[in-house]
Each structure stands twice: as structure tokens, then as C-alpha cells.
Amino acid sequence: MASEALVQLFHVYKQYAGEGPALTDVTLQVGKGEFVFLTGPSGAGKSTLLKLIFAAEPATSGQLLVFGRNVAKIKASQVPALRRAIGVIFQDFKLLPHRTVFENVAFPLEVRGLGPRDVSRKVNAMLRSVGLELKAARFPLSLSGGEQQRVAVARALVGDPALLLADEPTGNLDPDRTLEVMDLIEGAAARGTTVVVATHDRSLLERHQRRVIALEAGRVASDGDAFRRISGS
């Protein structure tokens, strides 16, 4: 199993400048093809952990291997290659308001230097799979929250990443929209993508019977089967 691990953290600490510790002595592994929930109250360090994984923030100390590559010591020039293998659904979407839905989703492909024909084919297929093919020419702010979230999912998945990180992907969605988005993420997992979803929504943990890593005040409080954890608490 260890050789199959996609993400490995060993005694990782993270402290933002002028703040208390955000992560303390975090050790965990996520295997290839696994679907993991990262949960815990607000401020527990979920977002920070995800940021460390795609090198948006440096770890203060500890070892952090992603695809077997030591992200704790990664060179700036190697960061783009790492990020191209990771799809991220950001909590605040991070869509560009002055770009169309199509252009937003095309971004990760253009950055890879794909030609316009390939970009167009892949983006259109992706938009169809998230049910937004008719909104391709719209601007994000003219869409509902659920639709914007699906644009964010589409952009994270369009590059066919080996690892999908989702930060509160259902954070401000009503139950129906939540189902839609989680179906998309489950779909990616079914196609073999390794998935880490940060959420504080317990109903998600109950509905999706998956491994749950719980953080509390920056430490791993528990790590195991969702059902046991929920019923045991």
C-alpha cells in the first residue's frame, strides 16, 4: 500500500507568519484511487492541508510527498508540472468574472499549450458532462451558485488530473445542487481519480461511506471509516 500512496505527510507542521500553528505534527497517507474526506470544524486546518499538497503554501517543517515527489523541497520551476497533475476545486471558485464559462474551463488546457481544436473538444465534452453546454458563452456572475460550482468542478476535471482536491465543494449549495456536485466528484473517483474532499458538512460523510480524516486544531483527531466515526461520536 505504501508504494501506492499518492499523498504522504510525515510530521508536517504549518505556521503562517505571525499566527499560531495551523497544522501540528500531521502524518497521513492517501492511496492511489482512494476517496477521502477531510473534516473538522472551521479553522481546523483543512484548507491549509490542501494548499500544502498543491504547493500553494510551503510547509514549515516535515516531509510531504505528492506522486512520490517531495513537495516540501520542491523548486519553483517544478511547481507547474505538479499542479497540472492536480485538479483543485477552490472554496471561493476562483473563476474569472470577465471570461466566459468556456474560457474559464479552457484555462488549464491552454496553460498546458494544447491547440485550440483540442481545447475546444475537451472543454465542450466537459461542459456537457456537468450539464452546462448551453451556458458556455455566459459569464460566471450571470450564473447561479450551483452552476458556478459546476464550472469550478469542470475546470478542475478538464485536464483529467490524477488527484482531485475539493475545498468545501458543497459549501453554499442547497441539497439538490449538493447532490449534483457530489455526483460529479464520485464520477471522477469512479474513473480512477484520487479524491480528497475537505468539508465540515456531516451529512456528506453519512451519505458517502468513505474514509474520513478529522482534523481538530491542526492535529489529526481521527482517521477511519465514516460510519464508525459518526456513530461512535
Partner 1 sequence: MALRPLSFVRRALEAMVRGPFMTAVAVGTIFVATFVTGLFAASLSGAERLLGAWAGDVQIAVYLAPGADLGAAARAAEALAGGREVEVVTPSEALRRLKASLGPEAAALEGVGAEVLPASVEVRAPGISLQEARALAGKLAAVPGARDVDFGNAWLEKVELLLSRLRWAGLVLFAALALGTAVLVSNTLRLGVFARRDEIEIMKLVGATDAYVEAPFLIEGVLQGLAGSGLAVVALYALHAILAPRLVSAVGLAAPLLRAQVLPPALVLGLLGGGAALGLVASALAVGRYLRKP
Query: Is residue 16 close enough to count as binding partner 1 by CB under 8 A?
Result: no
152: left (phi > 0), else alpha (psi -120 to 50), else beta? alpha
Stretch that binds partner 1, among 30-38, 90-98, 179-187, 215-223 (CB under 8 A): 90-98
Closest CB to ligand ADP among 153 and 198? 198
The DSSP line for 179-230 is HHHHHHHHHHHHTT-EEEEE---HHHHHHS--EEEEEETTEEEEEEEHHHHH
Tell me how far apart the alpha carbons of residues 229 and 94 are, in angstroms, rounded to a whole number.
33
CB of 110 to ligand ADP, least distance (A): 28
Query: Is residue 110 close enough to count as binding partner 1 by CB under 8 A?
Result: yes
Tell me how far apart the alpha carbons of residues 228 and 119 are, in angstroms, rounded to a whole number.
44
80 binds, among Mg ion, ligand ADP, partner 1, none (CB under 5 to 8 A by kind): partner 1
CB of 41 to Mg ion, least distance (A): 10
Element (H, E) at 169: none
Residues of span 31-50 touching ligand ADP by CB under 6 A: 40, 42-48
Query: Is residue 28 close enough to count as binding partner 1 by CB under 8 A?
Result: no
Tell me how far apart the alpha carbons of residues 29 and 48 are, in angstroms, rounded to a whole number.
16
Tell me how far apart the alpha carbons of residues 123 and 154 are, in angstroms, rounded to a whole number.
8
Query: Is residue 169 close enough to count as binding ligand ADP by CB under 6 A?
Result: no
How many CB atoms are located within 10 Å of the residue 80 CB?
Answer: 11
Q: Which of 73, 94, 121, 207 binds partner 1 (CB under 8 A)?
A: 94
Query: Is residue 39 close enough to count as binding Mg ion by CB under 5 A?
Result: no
Tell me how far apart the alpha carbons of residues 6 and 9 are, in angstroms, rounded to a whole number.
10
CB of 214 to ligand ADP, least distance (A): 11
How far are the Cα atoms of 67, 73, 82, 108 from residue 137, in angstroms, in the given order?
36, 41, 30, 18
Query: Is residue 92 close enough to count as binding ligand ADP by CB under 6 A?
Result: no
Closest CB to Mg ion among 47 and 104? 47
Number of residues that bind partner 1 (CB under 8 A): 25
Query: Is residue 47 close enough to count as binding Mg ion by CB under 5 A?
Result: yes
3-class SS of residue 162: coil
Q: Which residue ranges make up the site for partner 1 (CB under 8 A)?
A: 54, 56, 76-77, 79-84, 88, 90, 94, 96, 107-108, 110-116, 155, 159
Q: Which residue ranges make up the site for ligand ADP (CB under 6 A)?
A: 16, 19, 22, 40, 42-48
